[in-house]
Chain A
Amino acid sequence: MLRLAVLLLLAAAPASAEIVSGSSFLSPEMRRQQEDETRNPGFFWVEQGQELFSRRPEAGGEACIGCHAAPQRSLRGAAATYPKLVSERLMNLEGRIEQCRVERQKQPAFGYESPELLALTAYIASLSRGLPMDVAIDGPARPFYEAGRAFFERRQGQLNLSCRHCHDGLVGQKLRGDTISRGASTGYPAYRLEWNSVGSLHRRLRACSLGVRATQFEAGGPEYLALELYLAGRARGLPVETPAMRR
Chain B
Amino acid sequence: MAIPFNARISMPAEAKAGEIIEIKVLARHPMDRGGQSDGKGGTVPRKILNRLTATYAGEEIFRFDMHTGVSANPFVSFTTKAVASGEIVFEWREDGGASFTRTARLTVT
Interface residues of A (CB under 8 A from B): 37-39, 41, 43-44, 47-48, 114-116, 193, 196-197
A38 touches B24 (CB 8 A): yes
Residues of B within 8 A of A48 (CB): 4, 6
A39 touches B6 (CB 8 A): no
A115 touches B1 (CB 8 A): yes
Question: Separation in Å of the A41 CB from the closest CB of chain B?
Answer: 4
In the complex, A39→B28 CA distance in Å? 11
| Given known A-B contacts A39-B75, A41-B73, A48-B6, A116 and B30 have beta carbons under 8 A apart | no
| Given known A-B contacts A44-B6, A48-B6, A115-B3, A39 and B72 have beta carbons under 8 A apart | no
Residues of A within 8 A of B6 (CB): 44, 47-48
For residue B26, CB closer than 8 A to chain A, the reply is yes
B26 touches A41 (CB 8 A): yes
In the complex, A38→B6 CA distance in Å? 12
Residues of B within 8 A of A47 (CB): 6
In the complex, A114→B10 CA distance in Å? 29
A197 touches B8 (CB 8 A): no
| Given known A-B contacts A44-B6, A115-B1, A196 and B28 have beta carbons under 8 A apart | no
